[in-house]
Structures are given as C-alpha cells and as structure tokens.
Amino acid sequence: MNLKEILKQNPLVLAPMAGVTDKTFRGIVKDHNCGLLYTEMISTKGLIYGSDRTEDMIDIDMSQHPISVQLFGNDPSEFEKVVEFTQKKGADFIDINMGCPALKIVKNWEGAALMKDFKKAESIMRAVVRNSSIPVTVKIRKGWDEENIVATEFAQMAEATGVQGIAIHGRTREQFYSGKADWDIIKLIKSTIKIPVIGNGDLFEPEDVKEMLDYTKCDGVMIGRGAMGNPWLFSRSYNLLKFKEIIEPPTGRERIKAAIDHLYAHVEYKGEYQGIRQMRKHIAWYLKGLPNAANIRDLINTLETVAEINKTLTQYSENI
C-alpha cells in the first residue's frame, strides 16, 4: 500500500495506544471514518518467545484495513525474525516504535530511548526495511529532553534507511504528555524530508485536526488520547475536512449508548470476565464530564456481569 495515497484520501490516523487500540476499539474507530488504524505496540521479544497474549494483539479483522502493526524492541536481529510473521498476520504496514516514553520501555533501551542511540536505531530500521515486503514507518518524538532535540536529524536518517513514513509527537520523552506539543517541529520535519509525515500531539477537537494540517502541512494527523471514549472525534474531523461542516458532539445519552454497545462487542470478543475488566477504563472515558460520572464509574468497577452494567448505565442515561 502507498502511505501517501492513503493519507491523501483520509489523513486521520489512530495512534497506537497500549491497552486501548485493541480489535474492538479499532472497529469502532474505523466505523467513524478513521483512515489508517494502528495496533497496540507489540513486543518483538513477546512474538519470538511465542507469547499468546502478544500474538493475540495482532488479531486483524478483514474490515480493519489499512492497518499498521507497531513493533517495539531494541535488537535488530529480533526485528528481523518477526517481520515475516507480522506480514502473515495481515499487516499493511510495519511501524517501529521509537517514541514511547514509558519507564518500563525506555529502561530497556526501547521506545524513545532509541533516539539517544542513532546507530542502534538506524540498524533496526535497516533490518526491518531489508526484510519487509510491505512499507515500514517509524514513530518518534521531538527528542529525549530539551537539551537533546534531535527529531529533524533523526527523521533524515530514517528516510535514508528506506522508511516510507514518519509519525512525530511534538513532545520530548521528558515531557511525557505534559505541557504543550510543539507543532513547529512537525512543520520543520515536513519541510526537511520527502516521505509522508504524520503529526501527533494535542488533537482533542476537529478544529485542532484542521489547524495542525493547515499549520504544519503534514500529510496526516495521528489522534491518540483525544479518541479515548470519543470515537466521534474521527467522524467529526472527517466531516470538517471534507465538507467544511462542524457536527455537534454527541449528547450524554449517545455517549452512554456507545459505551454499552462497546461493552457488548468487547465481551463477545474477549468473554465476560476479561471483557468487563478491560472495558472499565473505556466506560470511564465515555462518561467523563457527565453529571455524577465519578460515582457511576466507581459503581461499575464493582459489577461483575454485563447485565448489571447495562442496567446501571441504562438507568443512569434515563436520569441525565
């Protein structure tokens, strides 16, 4: 697949988020006009050692294309070994995570830590590109900290390895998700390299999406935290970009109904016990900002059956 053409048709991209962008959530976002989906980030070691949980994370539905499988690790040889498996699972793209700020990731010299080791990062990218028959992309950050803003040089190096696209989050690793994302670094990288650039950071409203595209001239926008409990951000953004119309956000009752539908879909996929536990955070996101949401969330976290949660949410919907 051609990344540039995909983004030209629809520049809206779902960010890879651990514990969030599973098969069920991807399906919902796809229905809301997301142009390119990403899996959760997946450990190369987990795939090599045959972890069932890791392999389950690459469960791709036929309707969920185009889709990128994001891999993380720190060993070029391990990346080489999992490329073929990833392709066989149905990936349209392989993305290499070099931007995750989580301590448990960077302490192993994975994720954003690789931006401190150009040589290792380059060898990983070359290994994946060399062994892949599908396009390879990379996700990075602005740099490690404010004294090490290396994204531009890193992007140029990545382009030289044969990587066919770059997603850039406009924060350093040190910032995690605090402060304001620097869209100027996205704009600079877009003007510096020829391959597609996807901007990421502080996209919570359709107007943010349009503003990033207009300001940075990037090819696509990657929506992460703004989509949690809010898949409408994709459909509303798509409508603004395509038809120049602003759709009103969903009502409280519409959000609750979506939470119930999401719950049933995920329980069908994962079973009641596991599905309910994985859905608790999603339900909390759907309810965020609604009256008495904290108390309803706390109650739902004690419930053990779909029927109980459905009853609680339905009654709550009738009273808001």
Is 27 labelled a binding residue?
no
Options 57, 71, 100, 125, the catalytic residue: 100
* Element housing 256 (H / E): helix 252-270
Which residue type is seen at 62? M
Final residue before a domain boundary, out of 194, 211, 243: 243
Closest residue by Cα to residue 67 from 90, 96, 47:
90
Domain identity same for 94 and 225: yes
Domain identity same for 287 and 212: no
Domain identity same for 55 and 132: yes
Is 57 labelled a binding residue?
no
**Distance between CA 72 and CA 16 in Å, rounded?**
11
Please count the CA atoms within 13 angstroms of the CA of 120 that sit on its side-chain side.
Answer: 15
DSSP 90-130: T-SEEEEEE----HHHHTTT-GGGGGG-HHHHHHHHHHHHH
CATH code of residue 115: 3.20.20.70
CB 68 within 8 Å of CB 94? yes
Residue 37 burial by CB count (10 A; 0-12/13-18/19+): exposed, middle or buried?
Answer: buried
107 CB neighbour count, 10 Å cutoff: 10
Per-residue pLDDT at 52: 84
Residue pLDDT tens, the chain, 320 long: 899 999 999 999 999 999 999 999 999 999 999 999 999 999 999 999 988 889 889 999 999 999 999 999 999 999 999 999 999 999 999 999 999 999 999 999 999 999 999 999 999 999 999 999 999 999 999 999 999 999 999 999 999 999 999 999 999 999 999 999 999 999 999 999 999 999 999 999 999 999 999 999 999 999 999 999 999 999 999 999 999 999 999 999 999 999 999 999 999 999 999 999 999 999 999 999 999 999 999 999 999 999 999 999 999 999 88
Domain holding 28, by residue range, is 3-243
Is 65 labelled a binding residue?
no
The token duo for 288 is 């965020």
Structural domains of the chain, count: 2
The token duo for 221 is 């926008």
Is 164 labelled a binding residue?
no
Domain identity same for 185 and 270: no
Per-residue pLDDT at 116: 97
Q: Per DSSP, which regions of the chain are E strands?
A: 12-14, 37-43, 67-72, 93-98, 136-143, 166-172, 197-200, 220-223
CB 282 within 8 Å of CB 264? no
Domain identity same for 135 and 270: no
Is 169 labelled a binding residue?
yes
The total number of residues written for the chain in this structure:
320
Final residue before a domain boundary, out of 224, 243, 262: 243
Q: Is 100 marked active-site?
A: yes
**Distance between CA 107 and CA 15 in Å, rounded?**
22
Domain identity same for 107 and 221: yes
Q: At which residue do the structure tokens 């050692």 appear? A: 49
Domain identity same for 88 and 201: yes
